Amino acid sequence: MPMEEVCTLNDLVAYLYNETELTESVMVQNAIDHNYEVAETYQDLIAAKSLLDTTLLRPSDGVVQRLLNYSLTH
């Protein structure tokens, strides 16, 4: 997945999470608009972010209850 040197994978991730300055955002969007490989990689990152956003990132109720029980007894 070679990309133009002016737009790295880190640039795409920062852009995805709105962590780029205006000039960086313009550069990344330009790379997305004009380079098929960059656009494809960016779409893959969007899909991965979506999966991460929908993943449950909290402990089960059983784990929470065991922690609470432990904290009450120690």
Predicted TM-score (pTM) of the model is: 0.68
d(CA 28, CA 12): 7
The whole-number pLDDT of residue 32 equals: 97
Instruction: Show the tokens assigned to 74.
Output: 């120690």
Instruction: Show the tokens assigned to 22.
Output: 């205006």
Whether 12 and 1 have beta carbons less than 8 Å apart is answered as no
Q: Going from the first residue of the chain to its last (74 residues), give the mean pLDDT of each consecutive group of 10, the final group possibly shorter.
A: 69 97 97 96 95 76 88 84
Domain positions in the chain = 9-73
